Chain A
Amino acid sequence: MSALNIKKGSTSHSAYDLRDPHAQANETHTLAVLVDNEAGVLARVIGLFSGRGYNIDSLTVAEVDHAGHRSRITIVTRGTPSVIDQIKAQLGRLVPVHEVHDLTVEGASVERELALFKVAGTGEKRIEALRLAEIFRANVVDSTLESFVFEMTGTPSKIDAFADLMRPLGLIDVARTGVAALSRGV
């Protein structure tokens, strides 16, 4: 193979895939899928994942171009490198899918998620929850004498961290939107 002058490790732009086919470590990838906003398109994507046994860690979908009838689906998935490649290829051949981007490998990207936390408590715990919320730049969007609802936007790991802190302070409900992601720059 060296005679053909193939760069080791190159994948997407080479005719050759020189990665070790036996590398089996799972990786987490964020995929952005641009689709026609038509009936059943989400079912097609989800059905593909369940039918072929792929994982979905999180999934968000919304129309992003009303005039062009386009929606953007952001999927966080886990798998070995070959499974991730399969997922992308399988998504790519769905008829209403226009583009599939792997934000994890296509350069830097930003990921954000919105979450709501309901924390119930009184006294010291209530004050501590409020103090931590300030540190995490979470907003209070609802308040009673025994509870708060905090709103927070951030990376999934920041939201995980905040949830961990709130749990002993009376966390009773969490709602998360799943990840929205875009590549950096143009």
Chain B
Amino acid sequence: MSRQMTGAKMVVQALKDQGVEVVFGYPGGAVLPIYDEIFQQNDIRHILVRHEQGAVHMAEGYARSTGKPGVVLVTSGPGATNAVTGLTDALMDSIPLVVLTGQVPTFMIGTDGFQEADTVGITRPCTKHNWLAKDTDKLAETLHQAFHVATHGRPGPVLIDIPKDVQFATGTYQGPKQAKVSHYQPKVKGDIEGITDLAAMIERAERPVLYTGGGVINSGPAASQLLRELADATGFPVTSTLMGLGAYPASGKNWIGMLGMHGLYEANLAMHGCDLLINLGARFDDRITGRIADFSPKSKKAHVDIDPSSINKVIHVDLPIVGDVGHVLEDLLKVWKARGRKTNKEALAKWWGQIEQWKLKNCLSYKGSDKTIKPQYALERLEALTKDRDRYVTTEVGQHQMWAAQFLGFEAPNRWMTSGGLGTMGYGLPASIGVQIAHPDSLVINVAGEASWLMNMQEMGTAVQFRAPVKQFILNNERLGMVRQWQQLLHGERYSHSWSESLPDFAKLAEAFGCKGAKVDSPKDLDDAIMAMLDYDGPYILDVLVEKHENCFPMIPSGKPHNEMLLGDASTEGAIQAGGAVLV
């Protein structure tokens, strides 16, 4: 299938051959030849964004909700630099993206040409790999390699910088099958010796916990299915990181809720008290571990991860297994079943008894109000009115994100899109559009805070233009809620620049963008307002005015171990000492 064609045509041909259906992008001088090719075909849909950061977050939403790589096309210089936040976000959360940037012609590189930036240099630390394509004859192979690298091993964003003369020049096109996909072939099968040891540990464990993460979702739906099988067959409790929600269903009988800084009491105490901790595709992030020295002090720790550099990076583990979670779970179940499906049932029953005791704390309880809408109440109502629908949820970053994680239940993987590792405010709106483009008939809700939402609000234009009926559920407290909470707990209630004056009227803003919006400020009107949002056939902004000074609990203060978490009614005074204040 070697054919002569221009570099620009190769880009479009390679995308088609890779099965790409949608590209999120923004044109500019250095990518005009590629846009000319896009104009002359109908197989690939192009979504015109309003800012390149939006394009990358849309591609992330698309990728996270489909399991396929998201594709972005932007111009040189500012086009590329605007993509940097999204690239870093995707790198932290292991989201497969292929980002194509235009570049000044090769003979101008290094001359500080118009809209020239050292894109490959700037994006080297925020991509899994990147390339400067200097030769049209090698461009096709590089494009196919890029898809291979983005989607194999631990997924991540890759970038190809394509100078304009390379786009114009003619070269030989190669199909994906002819392309040498380099030596990059990460190991997916785990060592059977280690897996057998893990099966033996499972048989003996008295107080086990399955601690699951985004890796289970990245591994594909089969991994989530196997996790359910393992949990149900062993009767082990399951907790998850923010990134892993939905891998095990929230309604499942072994589900003990999210763990970590704003995780559930029972989940964190189970982590603290367990004697066998099985980490499946999570990475012992600092939001999870709290104080390292006191993290899960009594447990043997097993860690399944496709990335060898995740092993022993933060927490020293007793049993590392390098491999894809899906493959490892499959082998683990086989071995464990062959050995007689044994667990320590008596001890497990006792362990569950303890967990049930912790659950009685009812750690998500909050003081209700019939005057103001409590953010937790808003999410409870949103959950009640949408949980039976074909629903996808994205979030921005902050208190609302944690409340969404606590109060919404996810029954399936790929339904929950949030910026976990990087914590990127402005992620949710564009991500929701990316999800909606991939799932045009589904309900897509972005749970937002007003401050985060404003960071990429220009993308409402994209939602309207492409008829993406995304629902923007803004919990508006006129504060940077999480910052305010930390200032209250850590900085002597000195609320330095953590509130916004002159916020826009979000309902009118919706109107200005050509869609619909409404404001609601009373608990009794909330259900009707949510229903109106759901019933509207198009993008919608619901401005939910919530209690301004609500804090997000439970909370493990920085520098504290899991068993010293703060609950809503507990006194928060002096809870965080100087040593903890230095941690973010």
Contact = CB atoms under 8 A, between A and B. Distances in A.
B297 interface: no
Contacts of B184: 95
Interface string B124-147: 110011001000000000000000
Interface in B152-209: 153-154, 182-184, 186, 191, 193-194, 197, 200
Contacts of A98: 183
A17 B197 contact: no
A1 interface: yes
Interface of A: 1, 4, 15-17, 21, 39-40, 43-44, 47, 51, 82, 85-86, 89-90, 92-96, 98
B34 interface: no
B309 interface: yes
B116 to A, nearest CB: 17
B490 interface: no
B481 to A, nearest CB: 31
Contacts of B120: 40
B125 A15 contact: no
B121 A43 contact: yes
Contacts of B125: 47, 51
Interface stretch (B77-85, B312-320, B431-439, B524-532): B312-320
Contacts of A16: 197, 318-319
A43 B200 contact: no
Interface of B: 120-121, 124-125, 128-129, 132, 149, 153-154, 182-184, 186, 191, 193-194, 197, 200, 307-309, 311-313, 316-321
Nearest to B307: A93
Contact of A95 (B182, B200, B309): B182
A39 B132 contact: yes
A95 B149 contact: yes
B142 to A, nearest CB: 11
Contacts of B194: 15
Contacts of B124: 40, 43-44, 47
Given A43-B124, A92-B309, A95-B128, A82 B316 contact: yes
Given A17-B318, A40-B121, A90-B309, 10 more contacts: A4-B200, A15-B194, A15-B319, A39-B132, A43-B124, A47-B124, A85-B312, A93-B153, A93-B307, A94-B129
A94 B129 CA distance: 8
B182 A82 contact: no
A8 B319 CA distance: 14
Contact of B320 (A17, A47, A96): A17
A70 B66 CA distance: 37
Nearest to B319: A15
Contact of B321 (A4, A15, A39, A93): A15
B317 to A, nearest CB: 8
A92 B309 CA distance: 8
A17 B128 contact: no
A21 B308 contact: no
B318 A1 contact: yes
A89 B320 contact: no
B321 A86 contact: no
A5 B317 CA distance: 17
Contact of B309 (A21, A43, A93): A93
A112 B307 CA distance: 34
Which of A1, A43, A95, A96 has the most CB atoms of chain B within a 10 A radius of its CB?
A95
A17 B309 CA distance: 14
B132 A89 contact: no
Given A40-B124, A47-B124, A95-B129, A15 B197 contact: yes
A40 B134 CA distance: 13
Contacts of A95: 128-129, 149, 182, 184
B312 A86 contact: yes
Contacts of B193: 15
A21 B132 CA distance: 41
Given A4-B197, A95-B184, A15 B320 contact: yes
Given A4-B200, A15-B193, A39-B132, A21 B316 contact: yes
A51 B193 CA distance: 35
A47 B153 CA distance: 21
List the 7 shortest-distance A-B pairs measured between CB atoms, nearest first.
A21-B316, A15-B194, A89-B309, A95-B129, A89-B308, A90-B309, A51-B125
26 contacts: A1-B318, A4-B200, A15-B319, A16-B318, A17-B317, A17-B318, A17-B320, A21-B316, A40-B120, A40-B132, A43-B121, A43-B124, A47-B124, A82-B316, A86-B312, A89-B308, A89-B309, A89-B311, A90-B309, A93-B153, A93-B186, A94-B129, A95-B129, A95-B149, A95-B184, A96-B129
A51 B317 CA distance: 25
A96 B142 CA distance: 13
Contacts of B312: 17, 21, 82, 85-86
Nearest to A44: B124
Nearest to B183: A98
A91 B376 CA distance: 44
Nearest to A94: B129
